[in-house]
Structure 1
């Protein structure tokens, strides 16, 4: 694959990411949800689909929030009726977060249009093309996770460092 094709793919991935973020901005105002609230609900959806549980600690780590910010987020989602807290049956000290039916309905309502449009676009591809695209996106996602982890290990700016000119 030539450099022009790789550059085009990288440009399109960047554009897709930007447009997805813009979509989240638009739909988050529809239910008075913060962007972080939607990301938290996305984590809860993913956990439910994989049969895992979400604790406040896991949410804090995945969203890269401080403990007070995580508590405020969970309180906000609980007050809005999107999340419930439940004590673990195994370790009563541990709290599990569970998405409510209200949150599931809101998520479906907010993200169904995006899913429908993307699904319609995917309908234009053969099974073989979709399999290739799946492999490509899995590898790109893994590469992005690796880059994020690498970036997290980089030293921060020195004392007195400023951004920009």
Structure 2
């Protein structure tokens, strides 16, 4: 097999395993798999200092308005997300992941994240940059 194609297959295997862990997390916490993706999107928005609006979440998840609202309602009922008024524009509602949801995610995914960080630790900055470039290109290929 072509070595490049082997890398693509390895990336696919990683994404499949990650998806399985997401499904396990969802089932263990009474969530739909879309709810886990929604939490990830909201946490990513917070890390990027982006306003986490209903519209942003719907776009990132590829859901219509009704589907987005249903996911938010489920997460709110479970106590994982809260709707808050934007302090800069009181007409706009922002979504915030509650600390309890962050804790649940850290408890479940923390060991795997720690293992990944351990695998990256011995790599040189140049090697990490190569991985970053490849993963960025993979992300762009699938989000185009």
Q: TM-score, normalised by structure 1?
A: 0.79
Q: Select the residue among 4, 7, 19 that pairs with 1:6.
A: 4
Q: Select the residue among 34, 37, 45 that pairs with 1:36.
A: 34
Alignment partner, residue 138 of structure 1: 136
Deviations 1:75-109 (A, max 9, x none): 11111111111122333221111111111111211
Q: Partners in 1 of 2:106 and 2:45 — Cα distance?
A: 16
Q: Partners in 1 of 2:31 and 2:118 — Cα distance?
A: 27
Q: Partners in 1 of 2:71 and 2:136 — Cα distance?
A: 30
Alignment partner, residue 67 of structure 1: 65
- Larger-Rg structure: 1
Q: Partners in 2 of 1:27 and 1:49 — Cα distance?
A: 21
Alignment partner, residue 103 of structure 2: 105
**CA RMSD, 1 decimal:** 1.7
Q: TM-score, normalised by structure 2?
A: 0.90
Q: Partners in 2 of 1:25 and 1:83 — Cα distance?
A: 19
Query: Any stretches of 5+ residues in structure 2 without a counterpart?
Result: none
Deviations 1:18-65 (A, max 9, x none): 111111112222222221111111111111111111111111111111
**Secondary structure in 2 matching 1:33:** coil
